[in-house]
């Protein structure tokens, strides 16, 4: 996108207190029970909380005034409180540029951020020195809730995105990023028209995301709904996601991720990857995707790795009880993703289970498992696959095509119903 040259210097005030006693950069939070330090029940955190209303700190809900400074002041007050605290963004439309909500916070109780209004991003990308709009970081105990909307106003800048033909492109700012946030719940809010990813969770643990609405046009570039990397014990459920890229993408270093009751479409499906693009990527394991529906997406459930990659692994993956509604590629492993390089991928894919996947495919090849010649896929299982071909083309030849499966460098075990017939 070559936007760096356009950027002008802007000082970003980081909020919160000094980084006392926090985990070192790159480390995983201390494991005490199931990977997390036990804290007060997050669901009860708002009871008897002191309210810090951004209007009290000078915010203006006129959709024109930059509310960066009032948001900073309200967060600093809430984060510094020793008692339970709730930062409130009431109804109205609030414009703001890049803002960082940083801890650690003083109270042992979670800080609640209640969004009832609409927050709109500024559209001059030169005002974003780093690739995020709203950043929460270094926080242990956080609740984001409400019926409000995060509006990235991405349509104003999508034209700068050149990632479709530039593998080294610079992503536009993410709408909401969680970096080194532990013990958090996000629910109720909506995210629309992000400049790139709607939500990015990284270096975090024990995150529950539920009842979100995430939307962007089908042709908006790189507007992934939720992207997860280098994080553990993330649970996403009961959400509607329709974007121009993956509804949910699971990147390197993600472990123990649960996704359930998600409606995805439009978009590129629910994906593990892409993996293997960079050196020293962490392994991916313990991924469960259940009870989800994908409608009019380009892919269904997908694993994608780059060719010529450094070695890493993706293992212990389950896709179960999935409904496909007019999906182009319902079941796909693509280990030659994003490139025409001849060198095979060295991401080892193993212990992958597809169970009770049913619905309709736009493509006559409903199952495509294209694995690496250097590290063939192992332990791939197909159980109770029932897909029907439903062409959207009027060509008689296409309408009469037989549904099939395609497999390369993989041995598949199968059981129950197999439509299309499983690869030998």
Pick the catalytic residue: 179, 198, 227, 268? 268
CA atoms in the 13 A half-sphere facing the CB of 253: 18
CA atoms in the 13 A half-sphere facing the CB of 177: 23
**What residues contact residue 22 under an 8 Å CB cut-off, 6+ apart?**
103, 104, 138, 180
**Residues 370, 372: Cα–Cα separation, whole Å:** 7
Neighbouring CB atoms inside 10 A of 243's CB total 30
353 is catalytic: no
Cα angle vertex 148, ends 143, 150, to 5°? 90
Q: State phi, psi for 323 to the nearest 5 degrees.
A: -105, 125
Cβ pair 129, 173 in contact under 8 A? no
Q: Which among 121, 122, 98, 119 has a CA at the least distance from the CA of 189? A: 119
Q: Which among 194, 201, 231, 230 has a CA at the least distance from the CA of 215? A: 194
The CA–CA distances, whole Å, from 4 to 7, 131, 331, 388 equal 5, 11, 38, 48
Active site residues: 268
């Amino acid at each position: 996108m070559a936007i760096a040259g356009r950027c002008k210097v802007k000082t970003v005030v980081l909020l919160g207190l000094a980084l006392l006693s926090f985990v070192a950069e790159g480390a995983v939070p201390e494991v005490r029970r199931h990977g997390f330090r036990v804290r007060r029940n997050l669901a009860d955190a708002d009871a008897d909380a002191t309210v810090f209303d951004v209007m009290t700190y000078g915010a203006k809900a006129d959709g024109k005034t930059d509310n960066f400074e009032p948001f900073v002041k309200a967060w600093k007050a809430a984060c510094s409180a020793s008692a339970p605290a709730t930062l409130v963004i009431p109804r109205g439309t609030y414009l703001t540029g890049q803002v960082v909500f940083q801890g650690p916070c003083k109270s042992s109780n979670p800080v609640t951020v209640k969004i009832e209004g609409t927050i709109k991003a500024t559209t001059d990308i030169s005002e974003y020195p780093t690739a995020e709009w709203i950043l929460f970081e270094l926080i242990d105990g956080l609740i984001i809730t409400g019926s409000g909307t995060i509006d990235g106003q991405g349509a104003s800048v999508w034209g700068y995105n050149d990632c479709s033909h530039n593998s080294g492109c610079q992503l536009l700012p993410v709408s909401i990023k969680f970096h080194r946030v532990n013990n958090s719940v996000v629910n109720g809010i909506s995210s629309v028209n992000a400049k790139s990813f709607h939500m990015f969770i990284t270096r975090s643990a024990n995150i529950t995301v539920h009842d979100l609405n995430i939307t962007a046009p089908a042709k908006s570039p790189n507007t992934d709904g939720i992207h997860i990397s280098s994080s553990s014990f993330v649970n996403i459920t009961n959400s509607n996601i329709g974007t121009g890229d993956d509804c949910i993408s699971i990147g390197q270093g993600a472990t123990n991720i649960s996704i359930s009751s998600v409606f995805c479409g439009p978009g590129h499906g629910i994906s593990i990857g892409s993996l293997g693009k960079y050196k020293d990527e962490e392994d991916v394991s313990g991924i469960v995707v259940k009870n989800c529906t994908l409608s009019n997406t380009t892919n269904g459930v997908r694993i994608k790795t780059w060719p010529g990659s450094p070695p890493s692994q993706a293992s212990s993956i389950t896709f179960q009880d999935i409904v496909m509604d007019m999906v182009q590629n319902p079941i796909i492993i693509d280990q030659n993703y994003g490139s025409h390089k001849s060198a095979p991928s060295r991401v080892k894919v193993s212990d992958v289970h597809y169970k009770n996947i049913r619905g309709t495919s736009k493509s006559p090849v409903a199952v495509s498992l294209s694995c690496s010649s250097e590290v063939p896929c192992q332990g791939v299982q197909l159980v109770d696959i029932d897909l029907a071909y439903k062409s959207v083309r009027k060509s008689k030849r296409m309408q009469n095509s037989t549904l099939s499966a395609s497999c390369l460098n993989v041995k598949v075990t199968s059981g129950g119903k197999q439509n299309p017939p499983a690869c030998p």
